[in-house]
Structure 1
């Protein structure tokens, strides 16, 4: 297996420090690195083996960071704004790029992080060379809200909160409510990614599990639209990077090495 070196970073932001980590092959190609945006309860550690597998398979650098309030990054106590997904790309991504001296990148995100990756591509069309979204939501769907309500009940069990605290420490309660309270708020009901998708010009791959409990296949189809490629993973749920990391890496590697990653196109293998 390709030798991968790991490095940690601390990035100053107006709200506090952000934790980031990179995985770099010994002799990486000169292609843009991938930046990973985590999901609503996620953090760097919860990507598990996926970043290392991806760096080795692509022979390029992979970077992940904990959003403010998550993982090892500093705490926050504010309520997320309705446009927090766009704000993440607009305000925090430039800090990461500046501190790691990134001139260009590929944005890749899971769930709500997929929306952030799409906004990154929309806001930074010169620097962002491609967008990969995994199990991303394009709008607020009843299936999404039902899944969140089920999870809310599950987190009433102390053992589930303890597992969340393992990764977020004493920030775990804020992390949980930042997810649940934001998505279930009535004023969030008409949120969608349409503006970002309309502005997106770079090649785009959207990946979705057939049995995703937080969103139907209407989401990847809407995200792919007329210039992206849509891949539906059979028998997979909401977390492909945990359920089938090798397959996910294979799908991403294949797409990045194809003509589709050089120019937008319409495609769907379902």
Structure 2
């Protein structure tokens, strides 16, 4: 990803952490701001050029950042174990101080993938007046057997292949990123994690996109959002797995630009 990466300092979990971020087209001061929230193993760098492509197509400004524990942001402490509420804590405790630190006082559009999509939903549910709208790709709203099965496969792959080396290209600590995500998803109490009831508080427009061939979840995830949030726009993409912005990037860009543009004009 091109551009100059910077860092913001926030207080989280009783210590100061630095958050890696990148601004896109900051000079477009009157354009809508799109904030990108990465997946469970993502980072600023792992988005590659997709955020720039989306912002260029829509004439948007962008903010891409790595959550604490990921990318070049502060890694987890060696003894830091995330609990079942780890996505709630990111939505409720990390996003607000990050936005404050970066001087973001306008309601942004949140573009979230996988865990990032869940975090976007949780933020919009807790702070309905602080978000303009959501675009969520393959979000999780409850835990499915297929999700756990593939995360178990990911664990075995991490232990037996060069995956740690490959992830190390995108994270200061591959272990921090991988085990923070993997261990909690495979923690037995996490099987009861469910945010469906919280979705009722969402008041902004929502576009929910998922691949028909998503290996980490069924279409009941985005259809479940539609059953709780009136007016949700669903997009179910054929020939697409868990990363629609990689498998069908132009379709995702076109749908997102149209969605944001029409909702702003409404």
Same fold (TM over 0.5): yes
Are positions 1:243 and 2:247 aligned together? yes
- The answer to whether the 8 Å contact 2:10/2:101 transfers is no
Please give the per-residue CA displacement for 1:74-94, whole angstroms capped at 9, x wherever unaligned. 111211121111111111111
Contact 2:10 2:98 in 1 (8 A): no
**Aligned-residue offset at 1:58:** 1.3
* Partner of residue 5, structure 2: 8
User: Aligned partners of 1:210 and 1:189: how far apart in 2?
Assistant: 23
Equivalence for 1:84: 86
Match of 2:126 in 1: 123
Distance 1:63 1:29 in 2: 13
Give 5+ residue unaligned stretches, structure 1.
264-270
For the residues of structure 2 that align with 1:83 and 1:75, how far apart are their CA atoms?
A: 18
**What corresponds to 1:162 in structure 2?**
165
Q: Which residue of 1 aligns with 2:234?
A: 230
SS in 1 for 2:64: strand
The answer on 1:177 being equivalent to 2:179 is: yes
Please give the per-residue CA displacement for 1:22-61, whole angstroms capped at 9, x wherever unaligned.
Answer: 11165x3624301111111100100111110011011111
Q: TM-score, normalised by structure 2?
A: 0.90
Q: RMSD over aligned Cα, in angstroms?
A: 1.9
SS at 1:216 equivalent: coil
- Structure 2 unaligned residues grouped into runs of 5+: none
1:266 matched residue in structure 2? none
Given that 1:10 and 1:20 are in contact with CA atoms closer than 8 Å, whether structure 2 keeps it comes out as: yes
- Does the C-alpha gap of structure 1 residues 262 and 150 become closer, same or farther in structure 2, counting only changes over 3 Å? farther
TM-score by length of 1: 0.89
Q: Residue 48 and residue 113 in structure 1: after superposition, are their counterparts in 2 closer, same or farther (change >3 A)?
A: same
Moved over 4 A (4+): none
Q: Secondary structure at the match of 1:69?
A: coil
Alignment of 1:143-162 (within 5 A): 143-162=146-165
1:47 aligns with 2:51: no
Q: Which moved more, 1:144-153 or 1:110-119?
A: 144-153
**Alpha-carbon displacement from aligned partner over 1:222-253 (angstroms, at most 9, x marks no partner):** 01224111110111000122222222111111
Shift of 1:7: 4.2
Q: What's the counterpart of residue 60 of structure 1? A: 60
